[in-house]
Each structure stands twice: as C-alpha cells, then as structure tokens.
A and B are shown apart, each in its own frame.
Chain A
Amino acid sequence: MSNGNDRQVIRVERRYPILAIAALAAIFAFTSFALGYDQGQLFSIVVGDRAYEENFLHELFHDTRHALGFPCH
C-alpha cells in the first residue's frame, strides 16, 4: 500500500558495453604491437627464426614507426 509520503527511488542501471570494449582492447593490443613493436615475433609463429632476420613488419611499417615516435633504427 502506498500513501502520499512514499518516495519513489529510481535506480538507473548503466550497462557498460563490455564485449565491445574487450574486442576493441584486443584490436588495439594486436595492431599496436604489429605497428610499433614487432621485431619478427608475429611472423616467427609461421616461418620460425627466419622472421627475425627478415623483420618484415618492422621494415614495412618503418616510416610510420619513426613518425609515431616508436623506437626504431
């Protein structure tokens, strides 16, 4: 039973889009590593030690790696 003195409490549920955030975090981590830090590690999964000598992604992303301020040589 309610009377005129009852106060209604409205609880606002805020739902964070956890799945979207997790997916974006995974995309961010993978692309950032490939772009800025990989020294052959990613391709070594497929071609082995040769990837460290060829350093394909490092060379391909070379100019942008410098431009974004990542350490390079």
Chain B
Amino acid sequence: MNILNIIAVALLAGVLSGAVYGLVNTVLVTPYIDRAVELEALRLGESVDIAYRVWQKEGAVLAGLLAGVAYSSFFSIVYAYMANRNPQGITIRRGITIALIIWFVLYLMPTLKYPANPPAVGDPETIYYRQSLYITYLLISSISAVALALLRAKFVATPVVVGNGAIRYIREIAIIGAYALIMITAYILMPSNPDAIDIAEDILVGFRVTSAITSLMLWLMIGFTTSLLWSRTGLIRRRMSML
C-alpha cells in the first residue's frame, strides 16, 4: 500500500505541476519560440506551417505533463530517501528547499555552460554531439551533488564533541566548496557548444530568462505539491508509527 501511495503521489504531483507548467510555458516561452521559428523560416525563404505549429503547441502541453511526471518521479525518490532518514524533518518548507537545490543542480548548472537556446540556433548535424556534452555536464553536476549530499549526511550522523558549532560550519563550507570546485573545473575543461548563435539578442535573452523561470516554477510546484500530498495521504504519519 505504501509503495502504491508513493508512486501515486509522485504521479499526481507530476501531472498537476506539469499541467500548470505546460500552460504557463505557452504564455511566457512560446511567443519567443514562435518568433525564432518565423526568423528561421525567413532565413530559409520559406513560410511558417501554421497547422504544424499549432500541433507542436498542443504537443507542448502534453510535454509539460510528461516533464511534470518525469521530474516528480525523480523528486519523490529524493523525498522518500529523506523521509526515511528523518521523518520529523520532512515539511513543505523542506520540500521546497530540496526542489530549489535540484533545480540548481539539474537546470541552472548545465544551463550556465550550455544555455537553453530557441529554435534557429541549433545545427541538426551537431545534435548528438551537443546531447552528449549536455548529458556529461548534467551527470557531473548531479553525481557530484549526490555524492557530496551523502557525505554530508554521514558527517551529520557523526557526533562532534569538541568545537561543535565551528566544525559543523566548516563542514558545510567544505561541501559547498567541493561542489563549486568540481563544477568550475568541469566548466573550464568541457568543450563549448559548437553552434554559432545567430539570432536577435532580445529573443535569445527573453527565451533564456522565461524558460529558466518556468523550469524553476515547475520544480517548486513539484516540491510543494509532493510535500503537501505526503502529509495529506498520511505517508509521513504512517511511517513514523512504523518506527
């Protein structure tokens, strides 16, 4: 029953958050994509296939749902792990904090090296190369974050007798510093995006800012909804009574 509850909560939080994300994207991000598609068509001397764009926009709502389910599943894995470690510490505030950290690690970090680009920027010939660069950077960010989080959990579990406060403070700084060092090294060593960026500045900046905002919103909604549903479905209470 518990297993089904955890999966059901993840899916429900994902569908709800994803639906809102998909709709907000159509308002905030899609106009920039439309302009980029128009520019690309102009450059190629073609006209925009309106029916095709309508189909793609409908697909964007479906993709929003899928993104919600995908990210919510990942979030629930982290959340279930944390709930097991410390059921009392699991709150909506903690859920939102975890969501913020995940967005930082999975979206912001890769985006600083390989920023999101609107259509008309990417070269189809380099798609597999760009995907491999992006995945590599994503894995460096996520694996180092998970490893350091586990290390931190081990530190926290180890009692400190002397200089308690100061040592804990130094540990936190060391964990954050190690992550920063890894990511700065990766940033310097990893190759840049091979594609030339040849698109109007306002479209590029507007697209990057709005897509960063909506992706942050998606993660925060997942964090909030999952925490709320966990408390509402009694998952935390039930787990606590098991201990």
Q: Tell me whether B158 is interfacial, beta carbon within 8 Å.
A: no
Which positions 104-119 of chain B face chain A at CB distance < 8 Å?
107, 110-111, 114-119
B175 at the interface (CB under 8 A from A): no
Chain A interface, DSSP helix/strand/loop, else mixed? helix
Q: Are B116 and A67 in contact (CB under 8 A)?
A: yes
The reply to whether the CB of B183 lies closer than 8 angstroms to some CB of chain A is: no
Complex CA gap A27/B131 in Å reads 21
The answer to whether residues A60 and B131 also contact, given A27-B69, A28-B74, A32-B70 and a CB cut-off of 8 A, is: no
| B178 interface contact, C-beta 8 A | no
B6 pairs with A20, CB closer than 8 A = yes
State A63–B54 Cα separation when bound (angstroms).
11
Is B122 touching A73 in the complex (CB atoms < 8 A)?
Answer: yes
User: CA A28 – CA B110 in complex, angstroms?
Assistant: 19
Q: Mark B211-232, 1 if CB is under 8 A from A, else 0.
A: 1001100000000000000000
Residues of B within 8 A of A66 (CB): 29, 33, 116-119, 207, 211
Q: Smallest CB-CB separation from B34: which chain A residue?
A: A63
- Establish whether residues B73 and A31, one from each chain, have CB atoms under 8 Å apart when the complex forms: yes
* A-B pair number, CB within 8 angstroms: 144
Partner of B122, one of A60, A61, A71: A71
- A sample of 24 inter-chain contacts (CB < 8 A) reads A12-B243, A24-B7, A27-B7, A27-B11, A27-B70, A28-B77, A31-B70, A35-B67, A37-B135, A60-B55, A60-B62, A61-B59, A61-B66, A62-B56, A62-B59, A62-B119, A63-B29, A63-B33, A67-B116, A68-B116, A68-B211, A69-B111, A71-B122, A71-B134
Chain B, range 34-91, C-beta contacts under 8 Å to A = 55-57, 59-60, 62-64, 66-67, 69-71, 73-74, 76-77, 80-81, 84-85
Measured CA separation A15–B133 after assembly (Å): 37
Q: Tell me the A residues contacting B by CB distance below 8 Å.
A: 12, 14-17, 19-21, 23-25, 27-28, 31-32, 34-35, 37, 39, 59-73
Please tell me if B127 contacts chain A, counting CB pairs below 8 Å: yes
Q: Residue among A20, A34, A59, A66 with the most chain B CB within 10 A? A: A66
Distance in Å from the Cβ of A15 to the closest Cβ of chain B? Answer: 8
> CB within 8 Å of A: which residues of B?
2-3, 6-7, 10-11, 22, 25, 29-30, 33, 55-57, 59-60, 62-64, 66-67, 69-71, 73-74, 76-77, 80-81, 84-85, 107, 110-111, 114-119, 122-124, 127-128, 130-131, 133-135, 207, 211, 214-215, 242-243
